[in-house]
Amino acid sequence: MEEVCLNSEPVFDEGDDYEVEGDSSAVGCDDETGENCSKKERPEPTVGLEFDSFDEAYDFYNVYAKEQGFGIRVSNSWFRSKRKERYRAKLSCSSAGFKKKSEANNPRPETRTGCPAMVVIRLVDSKRWRIVDVELEHNHPVNPQIKRFYKSHKRMILAAKKAQPPPEPVTEVHTIRLHRRALMNTGCNVYLNVDERGHVDHVDHFKHLELKEGDALAVYNYFCRMKLTNPNFFYLMDLDDEGRLRNVFWADARSRVAYGFFCDTVTIDTTCLANRYEIPLISFVGVNHHGQSVLLGCGFLGHESMEYFVWIFRAWIKCMQGHLPQVIITDQNKPLQSAVSEVFPNARHCYNVCCITQRVPERLGGLQGYEAIKRQLNKAVYNSLKIAEFETSWADMIKCHGLGDNKWLQTLYKERQAWVPVYLKDIFFVGMIPIQEDESLNAFFDGYVHKHTSFKEFVDKYDLALHRKHMKEAMADLESTNSSYELKTRCNFEVQLSKVYTKEIFRKFQSEVEGMYSCFNTKQLRVNGQIATYIVKERVEVAGSEKEVRHFEVLYDTSQADIRCICCLFNYKGYLCRHALNVLNYNGVEEVPSRYILPRWGKDYKRRGLLDHNSGDVDVDNPIYWHNLLYRYAIPVVEVGAESSDHYKIALQELEELLNKFNLAEDNLV
80-102 pLDDT tens trace: 765 567 888 999 998 888 776 65
Same domain, 404 and 475: no
pLDDT average, residue stretch 321-343 = 94
**Residue 78 is inside which H or E element, if any?**
strand 72-79
| CA separation for the pair 136, 92 (Å, rounded) | 10
- Count of CB atoms within 10 A of residue 371's CB? 8
Say if residues 85 and 79 touch (Cβ distance below 8 Å). yes
Q: Within a domain: residue 641?
A: yes
pLDDT at 568: 96
pLDDT average, residue stretch 419-429 = 95
How many domains are there within the chain?
5
Highest mean pLDDT: which range of 38-42, 460-464, 620-624 = 460-464
Same domain, 537 and 501: yes
The separation between CA 580 and the C-alpha centre of its own chain, rounded to angstroms, equals 33
Q: Which residue, among 264, 375, 373, 390, has the nearest Cα to 324 in the 3D structure?
A: 264
Q: Within a domain: residue 608?
A: no
Same domain, 326 and 393: no
pLDDT at 50: 84
Residue 578 pLDDT > 50? yes
Give residues with Cβ within 8 angstroms of 636, minimum separation 6: 606, 607
Between 149 and 137, where is the model more confident? Answer: 137
As beta bridge partners, residue 248 has 237, 300
Same domain, 314 and 374: no
pLDDT at 284: 97
Residue 571 per-residue DSSP state: H
Torsion of Cα atoms, 192 then 193 then 196 then 201, to 10°: -140
Q: Which residue, among 478, 401, 396, 382, has the nearest Cα to 439 in the 3D structure?
A: 382
Residue 446 per-residue DSSP state: B
Length of the chain: 670
The separation between CA 456 and the C-alpha centre of its own chain, rounded to angstroms, equals 21
Angle at 539 between CA 521 and CA 541, to 5 degrees: 175
Query: How many CA atoms does the CB half-sphere of 573 hold within 13 Å?
Result: 19
The separation between CA 533 and the C-alpha centre of its own chain, rounded to angstroms, equals 40
pLDDT per position as a tens digit, 579-603: 999 999 999 999 999 999 999 999 9
| CA separation for the pair 56, 41 (Å, rounded) | 17
Say if residues 324 and 411 touch (Cβ distance below 8 Å). no
Q: Which residue, among 517, 418, 479, has the nearest Cα to 289 in the 3D structure?
A: 479
> Among 563, 579, 602, which residue terminates a domain?
602
Q: Within a domain: residue 184?
A: no
Same domain, 598 and 518: yes
Same domain, 313 and 457: yes
Q: How confident is the model at residue 666 (pLDDT cuts 50, 70, 90)?
A: low
Residue-range definition of the domain harbouring residue 597: 492-602
Q: Within a domain: residue 465?
A: yes
Angle between helices 370-382 and 387-401 (to 10 degrees): 170
- Count of CB atoms within 10 A of residue 154's CB? 14
Same domain, 509 and 431: no
pLDDT per position as a tens digit, 215-239: 888 888 898 888 887 778 999 999 8
Say if residues 70 and 117 touch (Cβ distance below 8 Å). yes
| CA separation for the pair 143, 68 (Å, rounded) | 7
CA distances from 130 to 58, 88, 274, 565 (A): 11, 9, 21, 47
Q: How confident is the model at residue 619 (pLDDT cuts 50, 70, 90)?
A: low
> Among 576, 602, 628, which residue terminates a domain?
602
Residue 146 per-residue DSSP state: G
Q: Which residue, among 284, 201, 298, has the nearest Cα to 248 in the 3D structure?
A: 298
> Among 575, 602, 629, which residue terminates a domain?
602
Q: Within a domain: residue 35?
A: no
Same domain, 266 and 246: yes
Q: Within a domain: residue 43?
A: no
Between 566 and 164, where is the model more confident? Answer: 566
φ, ψ of residue 429 in degrees (nearest 5): -105, -10
CA distances from 593 to 17, 528, 557, 566, 585 (A): 59, 21, 12, 18, 12
pLDDT per position as a tens digit, 30-84: 333 344 444 445 678 988 888 888 888 888 898 888 888 888 988 888 877 655 6
Residue 174 pLDDT > 60? no
Same domain, 230 and 260: yes
pTM higher than 0.75: no
Say if residues 122 and 129 touch (Cβ distance below 8 Å). yes
**How does the average pLDDT of the chain come out, rounded?**
80
Same domain, 73 and 133: yes
Please tell me the least confidently modeled range out of 252-266, 306-320, 337-351, 627-641.
627-641
Same domain, 245 and 330: yes
Tell me the H-state helices in 275-406.
306-319, 334-343, 353-357, 360-364, 370-382, 387-401
Highest mean pLDDT: which range of 119-128, 456-465, 643-652 = 456-465
Between 69 and 487, where is the model more confident? Answer: 487
Same domain, 225 and 316: yes
Q: Within a domain: residue 198?
A: no
Q: How confident is the model at residue 660 (pLDDT cuts 50, 70, 90)?
A: confident
Q: Within a domain: residue 379?
A: yes
pLDDT at 659: 82
